[in-house]
């Protein structure tokens, strides 16, 4: 059984990398963002809380995140292991997590703030079907119109420079102590997230002595490893691919 934590700022590609590992290694991908998005879309009480917090430009509170994760992990549907993103969020949660689960390693996707801003501000969302677009890599055929349902593409309310600056500041302040704990106790792989999706995935696998990504192993020798990280499946960051939007 393999258990991993994947960390990285918004826009670093956590969702894409976690999904690749989950699909090929029979892991369950536990995404705090997906859980919250599901609640928002289904208009639950948790969803209403999340919508208010996100619209103000802040991160969802640690207590709410911890409650959601604890509940999700008690389902024990991860027979072959899991990869979790969006948790832990603070030092106390990191200590609890390490005491409760035998973690195989921590993946930290390193992305400069200027690249985060570029990726995040290029995101668009279909107002009708919820499909994610990234104008850097996956522009719609008709400007501002969803290719699938014809709905209008809109900017998420929290995707603006002011709100993003707040989130980045909060993220860095909270992440440093968590990384300090993990680096003392666990194998941490720091990976440059500016590279292509498959290059990032290959380095993660190499760090933990895991099988090479199937897509990379199947490529002819000498061929480029893949598209830039914000081009694979048209996903700019931590958004799941279109077929996997059960949930954020």
pLDDT at 13 over 70: yes
**Residues pairing with 154 in the sheet:** 125
In which band, very low, low, confident or very high, does the pLDDT at 230 lie, cut at 50, 70 and 90? very low
In which band, very low, low, confident or very high, does the pLDDT at 236 lie, cut at 50, 70 and 90? very low
Q: Which of 3, 37, 72, 167 is catalytic?
A: 167
123 part of the active site: yes
Query: What's the whole-number average pLDDT of the chain?
Result: 83
Q: pLDDT tens for residues 145-186?
A: 999 999 999 998 888 899 899 889 988 998 889 999 999 887
89 part of the active site: yes
Q: What is the dihedral of CA 51, 137, 115, 211, to 10 degrees?
A: 90
Q: Which of 19, 119, 123, 205 is catalytic?
A: 123
- The pLDDT assigned to 247 comes to 34
Domain residue spans in the chain?
2-121+159-239, 122-158
- The pLDDT assigned to 24 comes to 95
Domain 2-121+159-239 has CATH 3.40.50.300: yes
119 part of the active site: no
- pTM reported for the whole predicted model: 0.75
- The pLDDT assigned to 60 comes to 83
pLDDT at 222 over 80: no
What order of strands is seen across the sheet that includes strand 132-134?
Answer: 132-134, 123-126, 153-154
156 part of the active site: yes
Q: Which of 51, 156, 194, 231 is catalytic?
A: 156
Q: Which of 3, 19, 37, 89 is catalytic?
A: 89
- The pLDDT assigned to 217 comes to 59
223 burial via Cβ count (<10 Å: 0-12, 13-18, 19+):
exposed
Least confident segment among 14-28, 151-165, 197-211? 151-165
CB atoms within 10 A of CB 42: 10
pLDDT at 225 over 90: no
Q: Which of 3, 14, 37, 72 is catalytic?
A: 14
Distance CA 82, CA 76 (A): 10
């Amino acid at each position: 059984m393999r258990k991993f934590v994947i960390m990285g700022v918004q826009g670093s590609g956590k969702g894409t990398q976690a999904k690749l590992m989950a699909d090929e290694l029979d892991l369950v991908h536990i995404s705090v963002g997906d859980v919250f998005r599901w609640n928002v879309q289904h208009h639950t009480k948790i969803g209403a809380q999340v919508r208010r917090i996100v619209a103000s430009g802040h991160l969802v509170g640690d207590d709410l995140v911890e409650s959601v994760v604890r509940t999700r992990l008690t389902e024990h549907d991860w027979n072959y292991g899991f990869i979790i993103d969006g948790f832990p969020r603070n030092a106390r949660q990191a200590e609890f997590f390490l005491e409760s689960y035998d973690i195989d390693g921590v993946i930290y996707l390193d992305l400069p703030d200027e690249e985060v801003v570029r990726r995040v501000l290029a995101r668009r969302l279909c107002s009708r079907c919820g499909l994610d677009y990234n104008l850097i890599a996956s522009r719609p055929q008709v400007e501002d119109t969803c290719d699938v349902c014809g709905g209008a593409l809109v900017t998420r309310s929290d995707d603006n420079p002011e709100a993003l600056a707040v989130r980045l500041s909060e993220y860095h302040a909270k992440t440093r102590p968590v990384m300090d704990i993990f680096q003392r106790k666990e194998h941490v792989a720091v990976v440059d997230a500016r590279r292509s999706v498959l290059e990032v995935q290959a380095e993660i696998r190499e760090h933990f002595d895991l099988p090479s990504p199937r897509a990379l192993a199947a490529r002819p020798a000498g061929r480029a490893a893949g598209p830039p990280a914000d081009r694979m499946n048209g996903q700019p960051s931590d958004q799941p691919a279109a077929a996997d939007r059960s949930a954020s």
